[in-house]
Amino acid sequence: MKQFFVDEEGIKARISEWGSKEDPVIICLHGLGSTNLSFLELGELLSNRYHIFSIELPGHGKTPAFKNDEDYGIPNLIRWVSKVIESIEKDNFYLMAHSWGGCIALHYAAQYPERVNKILLLDGGYHIKQFQYDYFAKVDKKHLSFKPDCSLEEEIQSYETDFNGYIFSSWDDFLYVERNNYLRWSELLEQASKDLMKEEEDGKIRFCASGDTARGAIKSMYNYPTNLLYNKLEVPILLLQSTLPESWREIRTLQVKKFEKGMNTVVKIIEGTTHLLHWDKPELIAEEVIRWMK
């Protein structure tokens, strides 16, 4: 793997790259709060077959944030992404995206369908915010193991609290918590996890992505839902759907059914995986990528 920055025309983004320029290109978009190293294990597993670029989105890792949360709206965000892609790849490519990155991938493909061969979504692109709020507002919350967000304001407040409050006194304390956050652990996951954080002058270990960035991304997903693209996108899409936590299974299934009916989509359930399914079962996900992107 090598890393470099795209830095031109007012656009600055950190890029991770794997593989040979002679192989088919996959461009990756990570989820909210992550960095381009979210795809570190997949990049290593697929580097002998594909030329892979992982783009770090604004306000994440070492890529500068937008000045205003309105700048995370889809029109500006897609302009930003398209300029980054144009600087690293001139020909057609495959898109692989996780979570929030899946929403961005679908909007990009809607505007530039001639550039995208196929899309692989890692439990992303199908989440519709208002549908989610309405669902949780009606269910019996006594049976839930978490406090759901039932409005845009509640979700923004939750994300701002989490992002701004993810602070540790040392790297050891951070890694102790991180190891217990996931279904498995590896040296590459440790590297990707540490990339989420930065050490400040006071010695505190803080989350790279801020509450401001989270607010902009959540508002963007709310204001530009992907169901507006249903029946418009013709590019083939494979959605790999996670199953955990169990308390999210029903709403996840309801949203995926709507997504599947409206899009040129194949849906495959990956049992025993959380929302970070490419961290849970990287070898299995790599096999799915190879099958889909032949």
User: Residue 81: is it exposed, middle or buried by C-beta count within 10 angstroms (0-12/13-18/19+)?
Assistant: buried
Distances (CA, A) of 102 to 95, 141, 156: 9, 28, 19
The span from the CA of 7 to the CA of 13, in Å, is 7
Read off the pLDDT of residues 74-84 as tens digits, 9 standing for 90 and up: 999 999 999 99
Q: Three-state DSSP class for 196?
A: coil
Tally of domains within the chain: 1
Query: Number of C-alpha atoms within 13 angstroms, CB side, residue 67?
Result: 2
The span from the CA of 250 to the CA of 219, in Å, is 24
0.85 surpassed by pTM: yes
Partners of 11 in the beta sheet? 8
CATH of the domain at 9: 3.40.50.1820
pLDDT by residue, tens only, the chain of 294 residues:
999 999 988 899 999 999 999 999 999 999 999 999 999 999 999 999 999 999 999 999 999 999 999 999 999 999 999 999 999 999 999 999 999 999 999 999 999 999 999 999 999 999 999 999 999 999 988 888 889 999 999 999 999 999 999 999 999 999 999 999 999 999 999 999 999 999 999 999 999 999 999 999 999 999 999 999 998 899 999 999 999 999 899 999 999 999 999 888 999 999 999 999 999 999 999 999 999 998
User: Domain range holding 183?
Assistant: 2-292
Helical residues (DSSP H) of the chain, grouped into ranges:
40-46, 74-88, 100-111, 129-138, 152-165, 171-179, 187-194, 211-223, 249-262, 277-280, 282-292
